[in-house]
């Protein structure tokens, strides 16, 4: 069923990096929910796998001294949506995490694997974009931190260098402090389906106006995207239905929706407009912002 030539299971990051440096063609496997499906469908032949599962500490979720929230790349979605740190500070990420597949998938699938798979439909991607997440990448030559906005290179492609491992997802305090938000996933079926569209909104309000707005979309373009024009339009505007509806129309402009077997371009654009409005409205209500209707 699975064409596996070899699988290595190092118990330290140092050992994993050494193995990957010696053989950069090895495929990293985290939870396996994406890699094993690719193998079963014949997309990976004679695979040499490097499992990160035995490395301690790679699934830890913590708050650093400067307020940055650190999420280990091996944290499962079940662990994420049950985490008090996530629920208290990043509730939109918890919302996205619980939308991933069913309980069996959430118990196995990791946030790092979800990101590195490069799928535009990844449920965590839009929310991490909205929270201005950064990714810590490690190799034998050192570590680097890159904004998640610069990580996606195209459909199924990410900017991982050879022999490099994603170790942590970092959310700076400025990305989540005093914010409210909402994640809405639209799919053909109510459960265990890949998103037809994912919308994540994070915002701040002050004096009946938007002081900060971040809108990210999944499955609206070849890669997960932020809607910069829509965000710029909303900031400083009065919180009203008309402002939020117009923000949704601006979000459509940022998308590069296309026809596919799941939905037509026109239907996707309609969904973007409506779902951005609904997510923004819900975010305002959750944050207790003054709402003028």
The CB-based long-range contact list for 226-229 (8 Å cut-off, 24+ gap) reads 226/129, 226/130, 226/149, 226/254, 227/251, 227/254, 227/255, 227/276, 228/254, 229/253, 229/254
pLDDT in tens, 216-246: 999 888 889 999 999 999 999 999 999 999 9
Closest CA to 126 of 203, 197, 224, 250: 224
Q: How far apart are the first and last CA of the chain?
A: 56
Q: What is the pLDDT of residue 47?
A: 73
Structure token pair of residue 264? 């037509």
Reported confidence tier of residue 210, pLDDT bands at 50, 70, 90? very high
pLDDT in tens, 79-117: 999 999 999 999 999 999 998 888 888 999 999 999 998
Q: Given the structure tokens 């900017």, which residue do they identify?
A: 159
Q: What is the pLDDT of residue 124?
A: 92
Closest CA to 28 of 13, 77, 153: 13
Distance separating alpha carbons of residues 166 and 151, to the nearest angstrom: 11
Q: What is the pLDDT of residue 255?
A: 86
Q: In this prediction, what percent of the chain has a pLDDT beyond 70?
A: 89
Q: What is the pTM of this model?
A: 0.91
Quick check: helix, strand or coil at residue 200?
Answer: strand
- Please, what are the domains in the chain? 4-50 (no CATH), 61-175 (3.30.465.10), 178-286 (3.30.390.50)
Question: 40 phi and psi, to 5 degrees?
Answer: -65, -35
Rg over CA atoms, the chain: 19
pLDDT over threshold 80, residue 145: yes
């Amino acid at each position: 069923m699975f064409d596996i030539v070899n699988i290595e299971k190092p118990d330290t990051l140092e050992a994993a990096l050494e193995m990957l440096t010696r053989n950069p063609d090895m495929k990293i496997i985290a939870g396996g929910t994406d890699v094993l499906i690719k193998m079963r469908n014949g997309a990976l032949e004679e695979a040499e796998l490097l499992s990160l599962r035995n490395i301690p500490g790679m699934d830890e979720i913590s708050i650093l001294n400067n307020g940055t929230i650190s999420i280990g790349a091996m944290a499962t979605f079940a662990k994420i949506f049950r985490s008090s740190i996530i629920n208290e500070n990043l509730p939109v990420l918890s919302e996205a995490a619980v939308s991933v597949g069913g309980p069996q998938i959430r118990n196995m699938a990791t946030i790092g694997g979800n990101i590195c798979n490069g799928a535009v439909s990844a449920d965590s991607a839009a929310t991490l974009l909205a929270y201005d997440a950064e990714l810590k990448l490690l190799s034998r030559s050192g570590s680097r931190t890159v904004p998640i906005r610069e990580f996606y290179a195209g459909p199924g492609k990410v900017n991982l260098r050879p022999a490099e491992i994603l170790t942590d997802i970092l959310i700076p305090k400025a990305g989540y402090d005093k914010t409210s938000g909402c994640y809405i996933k639209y799919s053909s079926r109510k459960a265990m389906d890949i998103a037809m569209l994912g919308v994540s909104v994070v915002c701040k309000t002050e004096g009946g106006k938007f002081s900060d707005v971040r809108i990210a979309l999944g499955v609206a373009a070849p890669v997960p995207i932020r809607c910069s024009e829509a965000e710029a339009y909303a900031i400083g505007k009065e919180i009203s239905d008309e402002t939020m509806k117009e923000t949704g129309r601006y979000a459509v402009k940022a998308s590069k929706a296309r026809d596919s077997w799941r939905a037509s371009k026109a239907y996707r654009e309609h969904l973007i407009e409506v779902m951005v409005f609904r997510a923004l409205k819900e975010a305002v209500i959750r944050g207790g912002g003054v709402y003028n209707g």
